[in-house]
Structure 1
Amino acid sequence: MKIIEIKVLSGPNLWSVNRPNLVQMKLDIEEFESLPSNLIAGFSERLTALIPSLYSHRCSEGSEGGFLRRLSEGTWMGHIIEHVALELQCLAGMECGFGRTRSTGKIGEYYVVFSYELPRPGLVAAKSAVQLVESLAKAAPFDLETCLAELRAIAALEGLGPSTRAIVESAKARDIPWRRLDEGSFIQFGYGAHLRRIRATLADSTSNIAVEVVQDKFLAKKILQEHCLPVPPGLVVEDSAQLGATINELGYPLVMKPVDGNHGRGVTTNICDRKSAELAFKKARRHADEVLVERFIRGEDYRLLLINYKLVAAARRIPAHIVGDGAATIQQLIDRENVNPNRGEGHEKTLTKIEVDEHTLHILEENSLTLTTILPFGTKLFLKDSANLSTGGTSEDVTDIVPPETKFMAERAARILGLDICGIDLIATDITRPLAEQDAAILEINAAPGFRMHTAPSSGRARKVGEQVIDMLFPDASKARIPIVAVTGTNGKTSTVRLISHIAQLQGNKVGCTTTEGIYVDGHCVATGDCSGPKSARMVLSDPLVDFAILECARGGILREGLGFDRCDVSVITNITEDHLGLDGVDDLAMLARVKGTVAEATKNTGFAVLNAEDEMVLGMAGTLQCKVAYFALQPDNPVLQKHFQAGGAVAYIKDGWLVSGWQGKIESIIKVGCIPVTMGGKYECMLQNCLAASIAAKASGISSTAIRKGLRTFLPNVEMNLGRMNTFFLGTARIIVDYAHNAHGFTELGKYLNKLVSSQKIAIITAAGDRREKDIIAMGKICAGIFDRLIIRHDADTRGRSREEITSLLLQGIREVKPLASVPVISAEDEAIKYAMDSLASGGILVVCSDDSRRTLDLVSREVELRTLNKNYGT
């Protein structure tokens, strides 16, 4: 078997709009196409023996054991690999349950699609599943444990920590979109102007000054002391010469810790003699130049968690320990505890494995014990001085027994230091009693506190503290999003995006939009090039200036990664015509419509899909949608449109020279078509369709008719507003039009417009993308020959897989079907082709320059027009 292609999808996609995280593998099962599972002797038995948990897979039968029944009856390798890839991830601790396997249409070739929790383990699971299944099919061994160990290691390295995960899960439960901004714990929640960010448990609202203050433990303690909050007496020591004087002043017992340490690193407690003090000082100095020496306060170790300055959880922390059974050695007891499935490396699980370090060995030495000592039955031995979970400690929830006075003290301390999220380490003999009644003290206050001890305590009630963070970030969860309009189709996408953007700006919005020409934020171009994919969409949705997003969604990005958002408020499907067929497994219009239909399916239930009622492929999408539908059409008597309006639906159409809106049962004439500049006085039908789509999409987005009317009236077909779309220059009485027409449908619409114009001649500079089908390139040549009197062929810098000669030959083949004797110059360089065309352009003629890189083409044309105009004016 051979993996032909493998990719990671991370947004709504062709396979599922509700399960964005999918691995898509194109697999050639080769000789196994004729060998389903029931024809391979012993295969099913070997697979179920190796992975008995596959029994839980229901498959299409809908009950446990369903997949195994399919296996025994006979199913193909792609389907088996799908289930194995899912189960490998589950066995490694990543719950995944969605999969699909479908033929690509080529014998032996399949798309194997399955969900992932983390991208890289998903890819590893895909490749491992292929190796596993092929090995078992050939009766060869497969090392499952090594495979699972690799998956677990990657998951531990790349997965979210428990604290961050708790916040993310709470956001997901409230339907707040989220995504990782790095490979760690930097997370964005929400979109655009409403986005918020966290890093681990630091929020974007957390004061940087406050974080710096609490990192300096002595300064934080000084501030707390000034506000009459209980802290142990202590001093900062920089060298061993100061240590003796400090010991004499504070007296034993002592605690030593790095001034800016965390996670209990470098901490030594209950120091009772000079030798231990010197060792503790050296230990702390390994982590910081300055050491905080404090009076040791006896009592229990508590962590108080505050979120939004409110106490939301409290836990008693117990240092890592073992209990003797009278038979096992200390090392054996540690090993036995570390086998606990709740213990893992670092923060991967609710508890951390206990490491035997120098601190543990020091404790053993102080107690005249070694790792080989058999601990008497019932004897509890603490292995660490600190109670941090990161060193193997455990926790007990005590939230409900914290008295009001202690709660007030904790919340006041957080306010004084300015930390909206913090963990307060407290020593007290009895947490149920007010601190003033006992020898209690705040040891330190921590920024970015861990949540593990609260979300999964060893005993007591688990606290959903992630919800408290989301409550703080989003008091109103419905305001985590901004309006999103997503536009797709074959032609007209960019113009429609720009129209909606212009209208939305007039309404007062800070608009972010993505197009094939670039990314725009609040009217400024911030990136150029083809920006119609998910990466560009994510960029706009990560910009806090943007409060309204309009996103062009091209076929390529949908197939490559999925959409760059989880769902939109309004979707627009302009049309589905032949273009890009034969690429990425999209071979016909029905498949292209499925791809483009992903955008409509990703529309939220209360939103609108704006559909072209004059396009059969677009109309076919309506029956599968869960959202509301709005239709647009040039003709007012379109039966689909009329029936929809009579049923209370939203529509837009042209009638008696007016652009008309039908909304909530009311008809409104928005603007005369002749007053919409971009339609060229109503002559350019495809732009009229774009205006209809834009007007109804704007209406569905809550934009007023006044803004829509003004927007359509003031949107101009110039370089500034609609770059590369019918941009017109004049050279005397001749016109030069720069347009992005690049496929048969685009040229047909352009031809309809040009036929309405009076001209002495029509010339076009054309080319074709080499990745189009032969028949599509031929059709372009044929259509252009029917429109223009003369044609000139040029070539793009990137010919996309075909030679220039091939592209020329195919275009000429189409041209000569219409004009067998036509003389067609071939001038590869665009600048030379433009000069040549202008040289032969007669008065009253029209030259259409079809652009690929609109900015470059416009620059070439404008400079050439300016030069020729100057030469004419000055007689040179």
Structure 2
Amino acid sequence: MTLVGERGEITAEMMKKLHSVLHHLNSENIPTEEQLVLQPQSNNDRAVAFYFCAVAILIQKAANSSVSTFKYEENKKPGNWEVFVEHEHDTIGYLAAQFSCKLIRQILADPSGEMKLAELITSLENQVAWLKQRYAGVTLPKEVRSILKAAEKRHIPWRNVPKSSLFQYGYGRHLNFFRGTILANERHSSVLLTNDKALTNRLLHEAGLPIAQSGVATTLKQAAILAEKIGYPVVVKPLSGMRGNGVTLSIRDENGLTSAIKKAGRYDHSALIEKHTEGNDFRLTVFGGKLVGAIKRSVTIVEGDGQRNILELAEEVNREPWRNKHVGDTKYHIKKISVATECLESQGHNWESVPVVGERVAFNFVPNVSEGGCYETIWKEMIHRENIKMAERAAKTVGLQVAGIDFLTTDILKPYWETGAIICEVNAQPAFELVFERDQEYLDEFGRIAFETSCPPDVDMTLPVVSMVSDGKELSGNIVTALQKIGLVVGYWSQEFASVDDVPIRPEGKNNSSVSSILWNGSVEVAVLEVNASRIQKKGLEYNICSHLVVENMPMIEGVKAPEVLDLLLSAVTHKVIVNKDNLKVFAWANSVCSDKISFTAKENLETELLKELSAGFPDLLSNVTGGLADT
């Protein structure tokens, strides 16, 4: 991004206001351990560039975005600054930069100081509150973020597939997909299976696991016959579905059955009729065939005080700290939704009703935490070992690597056969954020374990990706040819042309494809990417991991040498940087950064050295690449 300044006097009063606004944002909205160190700048122009970057970073941090990096440097036009500001989400990053620019312009356009500091602070706080709401709408689910953190720690790249809920991880031939907590190794048939409650029950019963007596009905008549056969009270569920939608518990007569079948019919034309089982509701979470955590779930109940209405009582519940661990996130709040309204009406109330003193009012029929229910962590020592084994067997029976086993029992410290406990559902996409009190450390550990069920720690997911900063296409062309000669599928990208295995990504003409067309192409075994410094200036680095970097010359932006581009590329390198020692500017840069990844060679040997390093770094894939070089 380029900041274009207007030459004019920057007064001491302006600088004082800028500093005061930044200090307020830093001290009042950011935890102490994450606050920026506000360093003095050598002149006012430089200070304004610093304040722009700092405000853009801090306002994102205040909105719960995990960012910290920024750079700023004056370019050859006095008053114009090149700035790099990290962002986690494009929308939030853009809005933060836009607001920072607007705020600074407001202050600099007010030399008389008429605008009061309090007005600026109020504007700032309003922007932070608004961005928190926007961030809550675009941020990743906590379980997904913990899984992606596990990938990042192993230097495995990932991205959210544009305009979808799918995620990809691993470049080229290592490409895999996942959605939510359904990971790449999860069998499609197992996921489909658990969406059919009747079929799941049959397999669990066949395996000797405890389930309720049940049957499937497609008409009210069939449901009535089944209910009589099973014996009231019964439970009615849609045959497929989740989150307790359409479920009715403890039905005791045909009138209740009629209403329940109608309710279930909103979600599926078939209904599962089950014998009602008394007990507490537990979610047992299983990763890779082993129990990793458990929670006990319950319906939220408020007690009337004869003064406040039900909506006001719900708002008090929503202020509980655990429901607000992440600002702007209302996932665990009681919400004014149809299922809650229906539950209140079944008790003779609505949201405006004022319950009498001591009257207990429930907000849902089933203990669904994501719709306002309650929970508590259940430690492994509190669960009978036979119940643990039962949950693990259930996950294996339906073939799931990551599973949530919903278990009803009156006493989880006793084996299931002693209490008449049952498995009521097996879930293929369990939320595990709540286990262990929403503690981030535990959540990250869960993410790691879940990710490793799909991508074991001993699996190398690194793709050979070579970034080229060169004088022309000859060096890249020779490298691509040498790699192709040993039978590898090479993806090549430059500003003008992109291809996979020598087949153009786009028809003849201007290349409008991005680097993603190479890196996220599952057939690519090696990627060779030409660096375009001007594109990086406009779009940023379009990848955050590359194995090798070859620097033949210094990158240029509008005729000006841009060593900051090399700094950015170096931060992405996992293996080696091969530098042309004959170029004095490049040689000086390499010595200034003091990286143990850098090796030096003469210009004519860049190709040979790169192929040797590729062979050393990826011996299974590229062991005979130097032979290809000799042929070339």
Fold conserved (TM > 0.5)? yes
Q: CA RMSD in A?
A: 3.7
Could you tell me how far 1:709 is from its partner in structure 2? 5.6
**Structure 1 counterpart of 2:529:** 551
Secondary structure of the 1:467 match is helix
Secondary structure of the 1:131 match is helix
**Structure 1 counterpart of 2:490:** 511
**Structure 1 counterpart of 2:415:** 434
Structure 1 distance, partners of 2:58, 2:550, is 38
Question: Relative to structure 1, is the Cα distance of residues 356 and 70 closer, same or farther in structure 2, using a 3 angstrom cutoff?
Answer: same
**Structure 2 counterpart of 1:43:** 17
**Structure 2 counterpart of 1:480:** 461
2:596 to 627, 645, 651: 627
**Structure 2 counterpart of 1:99:** 70
Secondary structure of the 1:701 match is helix
TM-score (norm 1): 0.63
Question: Relative to structure 1, is the Cα distance of residues 133 and 190 closer, same or farther in structure 2, using a 3 angstrom cutoff?
Answer: same
CA contact (8 A) 1:194 1:479 kept: no
Alignment of 1:227 onto 2:144: no
**Structure 2 counterpart of 1:405:** 386
Alignment of 1:495 onto 2:466: no
Secondary structure of the 1:105 match is coil
Question: Relative to structure 1, is the Cα distance of residues 531 and 418 closer, same or farther in structure 2, using a 3 angstrom cutoff?
Answer: farther
1:781-800 mapped onto 2 (5 Å cutoff)? none
1:364-443 mapped onto 2 (5 Å cutoff)? 364-367=344-347, 371=351, 372-374=353-355, 376=357, 381-400=361-380, 401-443=382-424
CA contact (8 A) 2:191 2:400 kept: yes
1:153 to 118, 122, 133: 133
Task: Please list the CA deviations of residues 328-374 of structure 1 after superposition, one character each: whole Å capped at 9, or x if unmatched.
Answer: 44332211122345436999748511024444345445545555334
2:539 to 547, 557, 561: 561
CA contact (8 A) 1:497 1:515 kept: no
CA contact (8 A) 2:615 2:626 kept: no
Could you tell me how far 1:286 is from its partner in structure 2? 1.4
Could you tell me how far 1:134 is from its partner in structure 2? 3.4
Alignment of 1:27 onto 2:8: no
Structure 2 distance, partners of 1:470, 1:67, is 39
CA contact (8 A) 1:610 1:693 kept: yes
CA contact (8 A) 1:521 1:546 kept: yes
Question: Relative to structure 1, is the Cα distance of residues 227 and 351 closer, same or farther in structure 2, using a 3 angstrom cutoff?
Answer: same
CA contact (8 A) 1:398 1:460 kept: no
Question: Relative to structure 1, is the Cα distance of residues 429 and 112 closer, same or farther in structure 2, using a 3 angstrom cutoff?
Answer: same
Gap runs ≥5 in structure 2: none
CA contact (8 A) 2:406 2:424 kept: yes
Question: Relative to structure 1, is the Cα distance of residues 28 and 563 closer, same or farther in structure 2, using a 3 angstrom cutoff?
Answer: closer
Question: Relative to structure 1, is the Cα distance of residues 345 and 356 closer, same or farther in structure 2, using a 3 angstrom cutoff?
Answer: farther
Question: Relative to structure 1, is the Cα distance of residues 489 and 375 closer, same or farther in structure 2, using a 3 angstrom cutoff?
Answer: farther
Structure 2 distance, partners of 1:633, 1:357, is 69
**Structure 1 counterpart of 2:179:** 199
Secondary structure of the 2:177 match is strand
1:269 to 249, 256, 269: 249
Question: Relative to structure 1, is the Cα distance of residues 154 and 631 closer, same or farther in structure 2, using a 3 angstrom cutoff?
Answer: same
1:618 to 586, 591, 595: 586
Structure 2 distance, partners of 1:71, 1:712, is 52
**Structure 2 counterpart of 1:714:** 631
1:603 to 558, 561, 573: 573
1:185-334 mapped onto 2 (5 Å cutoff)? 185-323=165-303, 328-334=308-314
1:79-158 mapped onto 2 (5 Å cutoff)? 79-135=50-106, 138=110, 139=115, 141=119, 143-144=123-124, 146-158=126-138
**Structure 1 counterpart of 2:608:** 695
Question: Relative to structure 1, is the Cα distance of residues 124 and 695 closer, same or farther in structure 2, using a 3 angstrom cutoff?
Answer: same
Question: Relative to structure 1, is the Cα distance of residues 380 and 463 closer, same or farther in structure 2, using a 3 angstrom cutoff?
Answer: farther
Could you tell me how far 1:73 is from its partner in structure 2? 9.5
Q: Report the structure number with the largest CA radius of gyration.
A: 1
Amino acid at match of 2:74: S
1:664-703 mapped onto 2 (5 Å cutoff)? 689=604, 692-702=605-615
Structure 2 distance, partners of 1:145, 1:706, is 58
1:77 to 24, 48, 65: 48
Question: Relative to structure 1, is the Cα distance of residues 169 and 72 closer, same or farther in structure 2, using a 3 angstrom cutoff?
Answer: same
Could you tell me how far 1:197 is from its partner in structure 2? 2.2
1:523-542 mapped onto 2 (5 Å cutoff)? 524-527=503-506, 535-536=514-515, 538-542=516-520
Task: Please list the CA deviations of residues 710-755 of structure 1 after superposition, one character each: whole Å capped at 9, or x if unmatched.
Answer: 424433xxxxxxxxxxxxxxxxxxxxxxxxxxxxxxxxxxxxxxxx
Structure 1 distance, partners of 2:495, 2:577, is 21
Question: Relative to structure 1, is the Cα distance of residues 561 and 190 closer, same or farther in structure 2, using a 3 angstrom cutoff?
Answer: same
Could you tell me how far 1:449 is from its partner in structure 2? 1.6
Amino acid at match of 1:53: S
Structure 2 distance, partners of 1:136, 1:272, is 70
Amino acid at match of 2:103: L
CA contact (8 A) 1:489 1:596 kept: no
Structure 2 distance, partners of 1:52, 1:334, is 33
Could you tell me how far 1:424 is from its partner in structure 2? 1.5
Structure 2 distance, partners of 1:456, 1:539, is 41
CA contact (8 A) 2:161 2:167 kept: yes
CA contact (8 A) 1:250 1:295 kept: yes
CA contact (8 A) 2:339 2:364 kept: yes
Could you tell me how far 1:160 is from its partner in structure 2? 0.7
Question: Relative to structure 1, is the Cα distance of residues 82 and 347 closer, same or farther in structure 2, using a 3 angstrom cutoff?
Answer: closer
Task: Please list the CA deviations of residues 407-445 of structure 1 after superposition, one character each: whole Å capped at 9, or x if unmatched.
Answer: 222222222222222211111111222111112111111
Question: Relative to structure 1, is the Cα distance of residues 358 and 707 closer, same or farther in structure 2, using a 3 angstrom cutoff?
Answer: closer
Could you tell me how far 1:35 is from its partner in structure 2? 1.5
Amino acid at match of 2:435: H
Amino acid at match of 2:573: T
Task: Please list the CA deviations of residues 246-280 of structure 1 after superposition, one character each: whole Å capped at 9, or x if unmatched.
Answer: 33223322222211111221222222343333222
Structure 2 distance, partners of 1:330, 1:352, is 17
Could you tell me how far 1:572 is from its partner in structure 2? 1.1
Gap runs ≥5 in structure 1: 1-23, 635-688, 716-876
CA contact (8 A) 2:491 2:526 kept: yes
CA contact (8 A) 1:346 1:390 kept: no
452-461 or 262-271, larger mean C-alpha shift: 452-461
Percent identical: 25
Could you tell me how far 1:200 is from its partner in structure 2? 0.9
CA contact (8 A) 1:191 1:541 kept: yes
Could you tell me how far 1:547 is from its partner in structure 2? 3.3
Alignment of 1:338 onto 2:318: yes
Structure 1 distance, partners of 2:441, 2:130, is 34
Task: Please list the CA deviations of residues 747-767 of structure 1 after superposition, one character each: whole Å capped at 9, or x if unmatched.
Answer: xxxxxxxxxxxxxxxxxxxxx
TM-score (norm 2): 0.86
Task: Please list the CA deviations of residues 313-339 of structure 1 after superposition, one character each: whole Å capped at 9, or x if unmatched.
Answer: 222112233355676443322111223
478-487 or 117-126, larger mean C-alpha shift: 478-487
548-557 or 698-707, larger mean C-alpha shift: 698-707
Secondary structure of the 2:425 match is strand
CA contact (8 A) 1:330 1:375 kept: no
